[in-house]
Structure 1
Amino acid sequence: MLDSTGAIPAYLWQQGSSANERMERIHDHLLEVYPDVDRIAFALYDPKSDLLKTFINSTRSGNAIHGYQYRLHESRSLSQMAKSGECRVIDDVQANITPDNQHSSWLLEQGYLSSFTIPLYDAGLFIGFLFFDSFRLQAFDSKMQRDLMLYANLVNMSLSSEFAAVRTILASAQVARDFAGLRDFEIGAHLDRMAAYSRLIAREIAADAGLSDEAIEQIALFAPLHDVGKIGIPDRVLLKPGALTEQERLLMESHVEKGEQIIHKIVGDFGLSHLPDSQIMINIVACHHEYLDGSGYPRGLKGEQIPIEARIVTVADIFDALSFNRPYKQPWSLESCFEELRCMAAAGKLDGRCVEALVAVRGEVQEIMGRLSDPE
């Protein structure tokens, strides 16, 4: 498992590739020693929603599960594992698992016979579960468990390194906001809703748009940065209740270029340009005001020139602007919001897939609106 010097091979967890690619490299190395481990998967935990979500996996046989989420508190055993840090071995999956949720049903359908589950932590906080699955009964004996903890540490190091980099970017953007005294509506609940709506849309169109679970989470993570450039717009324009003059409109639109400059500086200053997801972040900031017909700004991009992550965030942003109070308007009804989005899609401005994805999960949309409502 170690290289000739007795150290962990650095290539297994080096940056510069996606988390899923790093997982696959780790799995390749593991299979040389334990060929019965057919699957490694990490489910990411979101404490704000209490959801465990499929994130990255390396599955060698059968069909991988994608786009699945489950509330942690609904599983007593997993909740206890998250709190205690204890691992779990199931020697006979078929005899001990019941098909009472989508994941359990999938596990049984794939024919896995044993599993080993390890809770992972970052800076002392629970971040999710690492799953090892095998087609062999009682595959995970005590020696194998000890060895697999090494691979779990590799995955943990890889994820923690990336999460720390992302936290640095987000924290730096927040400091910039606070320093500038940004006081418009682009804070708090709006940003949380933006992330939640973006995740919903990305999840619903994932198969058609070729989005991995990892990409879905990255889009949701970076969606709140879309308007970071507004820290460079004076309050007299940003908070103006009436119509903007032409000069004021141009100044407001300049927040996109300002946002790009801020993100590039943060990424460059902290040496994070190697992150494979940094381009997703930049695309969201740079393109969230572009329309498919070329009538958006600042570049007048058309159709497929606009990255899918930006098209997703554009729909999420417009929906939230319509559905909640703004300095210049009252909130619209849910049906009116959907009708307006559909009209904009029909006019060739918005991606129709993204609009219909949001409409299709109106129950989840309403739950987010209620849970993340603006403070009185």
Structure 2
Amino acid sequence: MPSELFNRRDFMKLGGLAGVALAMAALPATAQASPATVSLDECLAMDPQAMADASGPVSASWQSIRQAASAIRNPAVRAKVQAILDNPSPTLTRALGSAEKKGVYSELTAKGLLKDVAEADFLPPSQGSAVAPQPFWSAPGSGYQSHHAYPGGLCTHTGLNVRVSMALYDGYREVYDYMLDRDVVLAAQLLHDLHKPWVFQWNKNGESRTELSLAGTGEHHVLGVAESIVRGLPAEIVVAQACAHNHPRTEADEAQVVGWLTAAAIIAGKDPVAYGLLAPGGKTLPLPRRQEGFVTHLGDHDWVLTVPAAQWLIPVMEKVAVRDYKIAPADLKKKPFNQFRNYVFSQATIMSLYETMAAKGEAELVRTIHTIVIPA
């Protein structure tokens, strides 16, 4: 390549692609490691953290998430993101004593941002603002009948979403010859579900806590945005994070994002316009609207297949549990089956198991399950 044509942008393109390639090359062996085979009794005795610890896919995804966070160039942003991943504690509760919490609840209710939720149920249970109820890497990716509903599901969900977002970032760079703010794309996607460890706490029966609604979406979304505000993340990252659940394509779509940012700012005790989250007047996002929010939204579409995959797979798991593991039909909604499905899903992932069934048939799926939990 002639030296006069090898400019800074070419160098950045090659460097970025090389970094992504090296990071990806280091992961597949861990992700595809054979799962730890256990008996049903051992499975029933394990807690969610132990299941996540034993999982190759969860470990690989956690490594990829940590690598992505370390690639954030701004040192202050990088430190904040890494601190949240290491301990996703609800620091937003620090300033919410009983009186303050009541005031926030009243304001959200008065503005129509909180409906059909009792004051006593507003905010998930916590053991204080300093420690998360569970590590990031043991949390499920969604509600118990939805996507990535197993210990470590949040890791695999986030790991894929970050890869998709960075592929979109690279696509804009390679096709349109311009670069979005890489730090914003990375940080927003890494943090988009930061409060799922708080919201989806594991219950003693093996299920995760049922999520409530806040500002018209799952409470984890608004609470995560509020946490980013409290922790002092830059406004452009917070706005992109808020766009994970919708994009400002139409007035109606943008109104949803504005509502989430407004609710999060109320919880965080900040003026959303002064913070830079909304344009003057508080009716739209800052203008002109940045593309990083659209990339975050598009990157958070792992659920499009993973939700139905879970719904199609769980009935098959129930049949196998009764037939091959002698789990009573009455226990299919209780701890015995929940523990069984949690361990199998954590070790092989819902997506991998569903693809096995779709591509190779139910018999191969059953054989795979038998290699994870020894049949009775």
TM range (shorter): 0.3 to 0.5
- TM-score, normalised to structure 1, is 0.37
Larger radius of gyration: 1
Q: Which has the higher contact order (CA 8 A, sep 6+)?
A: 2
Which protein is richer in strand relative to its size? 1
Which protein is richer in helix relative to its size? 2
